[in-house]
Amino acid sequence: MTSAEAKRILETALLCAQSPLPLREMRVLFDDEIGADSVRMLLDEISRDWDDRGLELVALATGWRFQSRPEMRDYLDRLHPEKPPKYSRAAMETLAIVAYRQPVTRGDIEDIRGVTVSSQIVKQLEDRGWIETIGYREAAGRPALYATTQQFLDDLGLSSLDQLPPLDGHGPVQAQALAALEAQASLIDDGQASLPLDEAPETLAGAAPAAPETEPPAGPAPEPAAQAVPPDTAPTDFPPPEQP
């Protein structure tokens, strides 16, 4: 088999795949007659072949895939004008803290954000496939330890946590981490360009716990308070972020 034939087979498999292809699956295409180093060399050649096209070949956490280039988004959105689901700022800040401080417990997240983290937020991120429980801390109550998943990396177009944008060192940790995640084109493509504050206000640390989240009762909405006072800003004197 010539190099050109092998490239053609790889290119076809990658274009037809519905999920990233790991190296071991690509070797199956050739009945393991081509080594891993040769497959990587062919992938590099294919990537260069597509330099001037609307698609690019990228290496992700779970394998290789073709995806549209960021500059193509405006045109592709015209085919699918419906808006993708969006997540609240609280959910995205929680995700950002997990990404940059993992493994962390809910208590760790609450200490950083200065507010409680609802079970609904954690479940939403787990259902999306972005975080998972990887163990339990040997402490009172054995709280769950959360970390990001390979799906999280794939959705951000990254192959490892080392490729996360660095924090700028200014302001609250959660604000830095959220800004860094928003800078990732793949996450913005998933509908995060503008994050709505669509949750009830969270409980400030040290204040009385908020009532459990339930469906609103039927009937007219209660009158708003005459003078609403915004919650205090979350503390900003956090230790410098750790490297993942």
pLDDT digits (tens, 9 = 90+) for 72-120: 888 888 887 766 667 788 888 899 999 999 999 999 999 988 888 889 9
> In which element (H, E) is residue 120 found?
helix 119-127
Q: Say if CB 231 and CB 204 are below 8 A apart.
A: yes
CATH 3.40.50.1820 applies to domain 89-192: no
pTM score, two decimals? 0.59
**How many whole angstroms separate alpha carbon 49 and alpha carbon 42?**
10
- Per-residue burial over 158-184, b if 16 or more Cβ lie within 10 Å, else e, is bbebeebbebeeeebbbbbbbebbbeb
Q: In the chain, where does the domain assigned CATH 1.10.10.10 lie? A: 3-76, 89-192
**How many whole angstroms separate alpha carbon 126 and alpha carbon 78?**
30
Q: In the CATH scheme, what architecture does the domain 3-76 have? A: Orthogonal Bundle (1.10)
Q: Which residue type does 129 have? A: G
